[in-house]
Every structure is written in C-alpha cells, then in structure tokens.
Amino acid sequence: MKSQAANILAALGGVANIIDIEPCTTRLRSEVHDPALVNVPALRAAGAHGVMIAGRIVQVVMGPSVDTLATDLEELM
C-alpha cells in the first residue's frame, strides 16, 4: 500500500525531516532532524501499533509488513 508509506513519511515530518530509516524486523527505526515534527496520532492512524521516541530516534512498530513497507518507502524517498 503506497498510501501507507506516504502517510508514514508525512507523519515523520516529511522526507526533509528524515535523516535515515532503518527497517528492522517489526519496526521502522528512523533518525529525524526535528522530533517535534513527528505526528504520533498520524503514525497510529497509518497503522502503527506503537511509537517510541528517544531524542531524534523514532521507532514505529509496524509488524512483519515492514518488509514491503520499506520497498514502498524507498521509492518515495
């Protein structure tokens, strides 16, 4: 679902806010420039089962769909 990837990027503050995204087994782990631009409710609305923010690291729990999501994200970045 391309729209899910687009929604997640937007909720992370847009591509411009993203330093990198590391796809883990069940999570996307992203380093962002400004964590204040991260919209947690929007991430939940995009299907996240949890969001952990520590400093500039944002972890988004997605489940095994991370694999396909990573492919979609790559195209949009």
Partner 1 sequence: MRHPVLKYVRVRDYLRSLVTHELAVGDAIPSERLLCERFGVSRMTVRQAVDALVVDGLLEREQGRGTFVAPTKLDLEVRLSSFGEEMRRRGMEPSSKVLATEEVTASPDIADALELLPGERVFYLYRVRYADGEPMAIEQTWVPSRLAPSFFAAGAPDSVYGELRSRGLEPDWGEDTVAATEVDPEDAGLLGLRPGRAVLRLTRRTFAGEIACAYSRSSYRADRYMLWVPLRAPKRTLIPRAAPDGNGQPAGAEPRNGQAGDGQAGDVAQTEAGSPATRVLP
d(CA 42, CA 38): 9
Please select the residue that binds partner 1; options are 7, 8, 11, 27, rule is CB under 8 A. Answer: 27
Q: Between 39 and 57, whose beta carbon lies closer to partner 1?
A: 57
Q: Are 27 and 70 in contact (CB under 8 A)?
A: no
> Which stretches of 1-77 are DSSP H helices?
2-11, 40-45, 66-76
Options 1, 15, 16, 24, the catalytic residue: 24
As given in the structure block, the two tokens for residue 38 are: 């991260």
Indicate which residues carry an active-site annotation. 24
- In the complex, the residues that contact partner 1 under the rule CB under 8 A are 15-16, 18-27, 29, 31, 33, 47, 49-50, 52, 54-57, 59, 61, 63-64, 70, 73-74, 77
